[in-house]
Amino acid sequence: MNKHFNCIGIVGHPRHPTALTTHEMLYRWLCAKGYEVMVEQQIAQELNLKQVKTGTLAEIGQQADLAVVVGGDGNMLGAARVLARYDIKVIGINRGNLGFLTDLDPDNAQQQLADVLEGHYITERRFLLEAQVCQHDTPTRLSTAINEVVLHPGKVAHMIEFEVYIDEIFAFSQRSDGLIISTPTGSTAYSLSAGGPILTPSLDAITLVPMFPHTLSARPLVINSSSTIRLRFSHMRSDLEISCDSQIALPIQEGEDVLIRRKVAMLAQLTISNFAIVRELEIDFHHGMTAITGETGAGKSIAIDALGLCLGGRAEADMVRSGANRADLCARFSLKDTPAALRWLEENQLEDGSECLLRRVISSDGRSRGFINGTSVPLSQLRDLGQLLIQIHGQHAHQLLLKPEHQKTLLDGYAGEQALTQQMAERYREWHQSCRTLAQHQQLAQERSAKAELLHYQLKELNEFSPVAGEFELIDEEYKRLANSGQLLSTSQQALDVLADAEETNLQSQLYTVRHLMGELVGMDNKLSGVLDMLEEAAIQISEASDELRHYCDRLDLDPNRLYELEQRISRQISLARKHHITPEELPAFHQKLLDEQQLLDEQTGSLEELLQAVAQHHQQALAVALALHQSRVKHADELCQLITESMHSLSMPHGKLAIDVEFNENHLTAEGADRIDFRVSTNPGQPLQPLAKVASGGELSRIALAIQVITARKMETPALIFDEVDVGISGPTAAVVGKLLRQLGESTQVMCVTHLPQVAGCGHHHFFVSKETDGEMTETHMQPLDKRSRLQELARLLGGSEVTRNTLANAKELLAA
């Protein structure tokens, strides 16, 4: 179901007769239908409308749900560039020549608009291009375009020489009269006239169309809309310009580049439930600078704290609202123009279109869970994704500025050498790992030496004894036989006598007698023949047993020397086995085990010399990257010093000067390089440069920190920046400068600023007021957007305290008009 509208803005051509007629018709028709109508100031003046709600384009963007643009495509472009920062839909009534962007026919506008107001419409989303003229990658001038950004000479046409880089990769160099960089919306405008292709409006692409190229090979180029285009000039002339939609011209000076990219994404909505003293809160955010103010203790930073938790911050049980079971926090981001975040979501299989939902649930017992697009994730993933979405600059950032490691982080953030710093960390890890391998090898070498010595001792006596598998059982048996040979011979002879050798009586002779008797009985009764057969068999067995026993006695050895040898061998084997805590039978296998260990020690590879070479090689590689990082830091330190010094002058430190010392020491190599970074400052004439902690006062330190944050933020590609009371210690004209800096930053990215200064709050494109109320038992925080009238009241309160007077209201109007 499409959104229905409550407040409708009327904007467009302020002087064209037919356009004015349509403006007046629209105003009266919409008022008659009961809508709240807001008319652009110039149009209201031309129509001489009385008692009508008027406002600038920005104010209409803040307060209206729908803007109706009456005029031609130029009016539509101019209005849309401003209104794109706000949550507002835009539709056009054609009172121009072509009407590519203005959808409604003026002759049938009422009926068509009535259908739209009833919710019968289709929303088309068109992306904008952002053009920045940069000095050392720091934007000095910028604007946006819906149709195209055009590089061209100033007043006199002439050939331009320039280089084109796409995502920092050289694409081509060209000599031509200029270059048109167009959106799909603009592909039917100036780009078409120059021979560019027509693109479907919803296509995520950008076209580069040369203007009268001085070569036959130049052709239009279509690239992904997520790409960044950089224009560099080798032979610079002073009259080059960048124009946006043929309405805004940005001059290009010597040494400046031009960056053109799709306008970045943003934090769209924050929902808070049962957090701190907030019961329920839903905040819709918009492009540009948003100021957040309120009374002391009202909870101005609660929204920032809640957002920090959505990004993986540490949770505590006392963050849950008293009496509630859990706090539920949810941040919704529009990621259409944030390829790094979209790529991260895709790599982690968490993508869900061009929006992203970060959620944090905190139980009253202190446990918490994190979610990305409805999937439960570890907090580390919330933090990883959060770094791609938002930078939060806290109110204590000026204290962090005193720490050398934070100074290094700031310098690296400005330099933008992510690839080099990542390479440094990898090279250091390789070197550190090779050092650990060497240390382990040296440790093992010592252990191997001790092991080899022990093996040598153990194997010396085992080798001398030379145990053989199965030997112990054999010699033990032989020993028992020899040790009992006398008894064996005597008893064997006695047995032999009983069997056959006794002269008087023996088994053999007695069996002979029995056999003779049984032979007579068989002659009388044949049934006894079986008994006779058995006796015959027994006679044979006794005869054979007697022969075998006689042979045994003849062979029985009574050698005492052999007995002594066996006794010594067995005794030695038992002694060695007991020494190694094994059985005698296990001694041969144990001997073989020690032999195998000795062979393994002898065969181990990876000599000390090879490892030493690897350590030296990795150290040199790490040093080479550290040196490249050092050179980059030195270069960017000079640029950053100049920019910060200029900002210090504008922030009421006219004699201020900042220097950044980058000292290279190869003996202090870390994963961040081999540099010691030291920010030094002088705030008064004749004062030498000294470390920040020794020179800068609290107020001066706050201003320096703020200048650095604003400058480095311009180099980042995160969609949103948050400044939480970073203007502490600043007042008066300096505060006005800070506000303008933040507003300028808000032209190219989303900025949220918690402040207590009216000069800063008055510079915002949007303004939220934070208040709290209590019923005597419970306290609750509210946060609401301010319209123009409410905003004047809040600025007047900030200027004069709780009592708002005519003077403070007049001053507040001046702040908004500045």
| Residue 178, burial from CB neighbour count under 10 angstroms (0-12, 13-18, 19+) | buried
| Sign of the four-CA dihedral 734, 737, 741, 742 | positive
What span, in angstroms and rounded, lies between the C-alpha atoms of 745 and 738?
11
Query: Does residue 722 contact residue 311 with C-beta atoms inside 8 Å?
Result: no
53-55 and 36-40 strand pairing: parallel
CB-based contacts of 715: which residues, under 8 Å, 6+ apart? 137, 138, 413, 414, 416
**DSSP class of 583:** -
Find how far residue 638's CA is from the centre of its chain.
29
Q: Which of 326, 319, 330 is nearest to 359 (CA)?
A: 330
Q: In the sheet where 248-251 sits, what is the strand order?
A: 221-224, 205-211, 178-182, 148-152, 241-244, 248-251
Query: Does residue 288 contact residue 751 with C-beta atoms inside 8 Å?
Result: yes
* Residue 570 host element (H or E): helix 560-579
Is 73 catalytic? The answer is: yes
DSSP bridge partners of 724:
754
Query: Does residue 764 contact residue 289 with C-beta atoms inside 8 Å?
Result: yes
Burial annotation 366-392 (CB, 10 A radius, 16+ → b, else e): eebebbbeeeebebebbeebbebbbbb
Query: Does residue 334 contact residue 357 with C-beta atoms inside 8 Å?
Result: no
* Residue 451 host element (H or E): helix 418-465
In angstroms, what CA-CA distances link 330 with 221, 287, 303, 409, 771? Answer: 41, 19, 11, 29, 21
- As a 3-state breakdown, the chain gives helix, strand, coil percent values, each rounded to 5, of 45, 25, 30
Query: Does residue 578 contact residue 568 with C-beta atoms inside 8 Å?
Result: no
In angstroms, what CA-CA distances link 308 with 302, 303, 320, 351, 379? Answer: 10, 9, 15, 21, 12
DSSP bridge partners of 141:
133
* Active-site hit among 73, 245, 257, 337: 73
Largest CA distance in the chain: 166
State the Cα angle at 413 between 411 and 419, rounded to 5°. Answer: 110
Q: Beta-carbon neighbour count of residue 314 at 10 Å?
A: 9
What span, in angstroms and rounded, lies between the C-alpha atoms of 491 and 204?
111
- Token digits for 246? 């043929």
Q: Beta-carbon neighbour count of residue 235 at 10 Å?
A: 9
What span, in angstroms and rounded, lies between the C-alpha atoms of 751 and 764?
9
* Residue 248 host element (H or E): strand 248-251
Query: Does residue 314 contact residue 368 with C-beta atoms inside 8 Å?
Result: no
DSSP bridge partners of 66:
8, 89
| Residue 237, burial from CB neighbour count under 10 angstroms (0-12, 13-18, 19+) | middle
Burial annotation 253-279 (CB, 10 A radius, 16+ → b, else e): eeebbbbbbbbbbbbbbbbbbbbbbbb
Q: In the sheet where 256-262 sits, what is the strand order?
A: 138-145, 129-135, 256-262, 229-232, 160-166, 169-176
CB-based contacts of 329: which residues, under 8 Å, 6+ apart? 270, 271, 272, 273, 275, 306, 307, 309, 310, 359, 360, 361, 362
Terminal-to-terminal C-alpha distance of the chain: 41
Looking at the annotation, which residues are catalytic? 73
